[in-house]
Structure 1
């Protein structure tokens, strides 16, 4: 009997508690509605100071009336669950800061939430759909392998945050004021007061709205490996490294690929190396439409896409993929309320100082959303870790954005660090710049005699590809210091790492020349460069043992 009475009392207590919670929730909703209405009724003629005081007072009222149930405080708020945000959050938490990270991914036009960047181009062909029993390619197997890999990465990232003690919230966060974040989960609104905040929302590829049919029928680089049907004949729009990487990957899988380029390939990179990369891809079978862009896309009855171009031509494709740049995800952050300035214009990004701080000294920005910063994953990671150490470990070391190495993961890669030839001439004067270079065939291509794509052959005897390797050093002739390293070769990414370290230590051309190399390798070519570009002597080797000397 006693046990039954206790059970009844417990049930009644639960009912009363739930009713009370429901009343509190409703009261909070009404409070928020009244607060928003009050803000909307403010006189537009009030000064910024008056409006700010009014908002702060209303917020204080909200704290009291809301009984502080949905208010929390953190040392460090991170908005963005990309590489830079993850690195900063985990590092700060390991340094005993109280950290919360908000991760909310806006879907692309085709509903995709995660992209893969250049990672797909580094995955093994054995795992990407090839069947070596029948020598065939299965797109669905490729798609499954890559998407499962992406999902596993996201799962491990989330676990890594939790293991580091970071509070993870899957919600869209925005600024309520200069020291407060607001977000919503289901029907409840929450506030987070912070000491420091980091915006690391990254960027997403975009499709221009002024091209008829583009938003409806085209995909982006983020969508590529989520499509259920093989891409087939593909038009890639863009001349960026992502455009070239996607095109190169599809071309290597046997698909017919055309690249539509607005102006030049790889803007901002060394012109000679960019043009070399384009020439190699063309000889491998890729078609380039230079200074020709789509103006209209229509879907035909057979589900194929008819593309009309700016030169009046038309062509039918199975897939149209845009990789013409990325846009920072800033629209919903309410940065103005936090007094954070942005660059404005077509490429709208957050203005940052040398220490990655914004116009609000307590709010920082790194990665693709920060104005003037390299759009590279390793850069964002290092910037995030460096920032966390300054904020929570008394470090005074700033992120070094000079001499950042990068690689374009095309079938033949292009790795570089430091100045391009053009940049060197602009900075120190053309008269002070020396360029040493060499073009040659690697051991593999020399032995196997790579065939040139038929449409690129000048006659029936023009069968072999031109030398695929280009090794180039940009030198300050006044002191011999190496200002730029450029490598077009197989696995250029692996080669570029070590040379980036050498350039950061002030390596000279004489240091390069004095090194005894490993033979036969492509990299040894950098240590026997003896032809200066301005000399008029040909730097193209007609026969070689890879990048080195055979005797």
Structure 2
């Protein structure tokens, strides 16, 4: 059903004709549609979004497209340690964007090495300049900030660079950088304040350590670096630092890539180690001391065994903490209106329609409990939330099939269930795992190791061998995963993969020729060049 409606925006004094193809017929029949199209004169806005990241901006812009009065608050408080930023949130400033660009810097360095095998001869010394890379990345981020502001203006979203804090159920206080306070009311609110890095809580961590938030805008080369943590952020940072020629050590308390497929996680760890990265497994820092000031300086780290009493010490130029993030839900007045917040890490439990325990308050993005902390997930959740609240749509986000990629030097892409999680749900006898090793053609001439790249699919025997887990470790794994994720949403099966003609010679072709099952016990090893 295509519905055309005209809405007079009281706050902006403009009128907009809006076409919404997403209106559900049930909404019209139940009277919900008529209710949605009525503005609430008792409030300044129909919707106020607190947070200027991907999820919040997506929600605000979609609500404006639907012809509603929308305000977005995007003030970022600079913590005692770490940077502040403008519109765009974590992804743009200290996440996906700078991470991918630094990952690309590493890949270019690897390509230089490989190029000699393809006949390229060069005699000038090649070295990396951190300052040049950092400046280029920050210039690009600055251009993205401008584009976000322009998009909000074009969609007539009232953007206010102020800090939002609830004072009543339908009323917030907005405080700008000069301390000036303004009060606004709205029928509904969306919390999209994101997360900030967690510290260890030991002597010297906040004084002398940096986090990934700092690394991506660091004005100097960090030198010999200790990365503390085993998350995707930790391994990604370790990978591109090593790829730039730096000495890197990774200290891991327990397992790598918790929540991911553990077979793949260990393979990622092995691939990272091949860059010369040293792993300290089952250790945790207990103290960080500054021996020399400077940029970077010199630090001593004292660590203790996570399983015993053994103590070790190490000297590093930089200590990078990547041990998780806590939600930014403190000091925004949620306790004043009774919104339930988990004590640690401060995220908000919501229903399957992103609604908190307080009916007028919703949440999207990393601030939400037990949802994938991925930018595209936040964007889609924000967009669909606006459509449900203000456009009569009933569609919800499918979180289970959210694809993702770890941008380690050898990328790991996945979609659906990890093998161990699948076994819990379907039992081992209800699964069939088919796998292979990959050796991309362009790596053969360069004599890159042939058996580190790996792919597998996990299928449900009880559902026509439907693919419920997709995993690939290799170059451009994110690009490969994206297409298969769309197919999985449409019920991809092993037979459909077998019936598909592959593109030769590509990495993705391997998924159309999978033959060896884990249950067969056959060897996958390929001979080196």
TM-score of the aligned structures, taking structure 1 as reference length: 0.80
1:205 to 172, 197, 204: 197
Range with bigger deviation, 193-202 or 296-305: 296-305
Residues 240, 324 of structure 1: 8 Å contact kept = yes
Range with bigger deviation, 116-125 or 312-321: 116-125
Report the counterpart of residue 66 of structure 2 in structure 1.
Answer: 95
Distance, in Å, in 2 between the alignment partners of 1:108 and 1:520 is 49
- Superposed displacement of residue 122, structure 1: 2.5
- Superposed displacement of residue 108, structure 1: 3.9
Structure 2 CA distance for partners of 1:128 and 1:434, relative to 1, 3 Å: closer
- Superposed displacement of residue 448, structure 1: 0.8
Report the counterpart of residue 236 of structure 2 in structure 1.
Answer: 245
2:95 to 114, 117, 141: 117
Report the counterpart of residue 509 of structure 1 in structure 2.
Answer: 494
Give the number of the structure with larger relative contact order, counting CA–CA contacts within 8 Å between residues 6 or more apart. 2
Instruction: Establish whether residue 347 from structure 1 lines up as the match of residue 345 from structure 2.
Output: yes
Q: How does 1:161-310 map to 2 (within 5 A)?
A: 161-185=152-176, 186=178, 188-209=180-201, 211-301=202-292, 303-310=297-304
Residues 438, 474 of structure 2: 8 Å contact kept = no
Structure 2: segments with no counterpart, 5+ residues: 1-41, 86-92, 113-121, 306-310
Residues 281-300 of structure 1: CA distance to partner in whole angstroms, max 9, x if unpaired?
A: 11121111111121111111
Distance, in Å, in 2 between the alignment partners of 1:472 and 1:119 is 28
Residues 258-288 of structure 1: CA distance to partner in whole angstroms, max 9, x if unpaired?
A: 1111111111111111111110111121111
Q: How does 1:454-533 map to 2 (within 5 A)?
A: 465=449, 467-478=451-462, 479-533=464-518
Secondary structure of the corresponding residue to residue 425 of structure 2: helix
- Superposed displacement of residue 445, structure 1: 2.3
Distance, in Å, in 1 between the alignment partners of 2:443 and 2:205 is 40
Instruction: Establish whether residue 139 from structure 1 lines up as the match of residue 113 from structure 2.
Output: no
- Superposed displacement of residue 247, structure 1: 1.0
Report the counterpart of residue 430 of structure 1 in structure 2.
Answer: 428
Residues 59-92 of structure 1: CA distance to partner in whole angstroms, max 9, x if unpaired?
A: xxxxxxxxxxxx9711110000000011111111
Secondary structure of the corresponding residue to residue 408 of structure 2: coil
Larger Cα-atom Rg: 1
Residues 76, 198 of structure 1: 8 Å contact kept = yes
Report the counterpart of residue 447 of structure 1 in structure 2.
Answer: 445
Residues 118, 409 of structure 1: 8 Å contact kept = no
Secondary structure of the corresponding residue to residue 263 of structure 1: coil
RMSD: 2.1
Instruction: Establish whether residue 104 from structure 1 lines up as the match of residue 103 from structure 2.
Output: no
Residues 460, 468 of structure 2: 8 Å contact kept = yes
The number of residues matched between the two structures is 458
Instruction: Establish whether residue 391 from structure 1 lines up as the match of residue 389 from structure 2.
Output: yes
Report the counterpart of residue 61 of structure 1 in structure 2.
Answer: none
Structure 1: segments with no counterpart, 5+ residues: 1-70, 451-464, 545-551
Distance, in Å, in 1 between the alignment partners of 2:108 and 2:146 is 21
Residues 43, 187 of structure 2: 8 Å contact kept = no
Distance, in Å, in 2 between the alignment partners of 1:227 and 1:506 is 44
Residues 109, 243 of structure 2: 8 Å contact kept = no
- Superposed displacement of residue 129, structure 1: 11
Q: Structure 1: which 4+ aligned runs deviate by more than 6 Å? A: 126-133
Residues 440, 542 of structure 1: 8 Å contact kept = no
TM-score of the aligned structures, taking structure 2 as reference length: 0.83
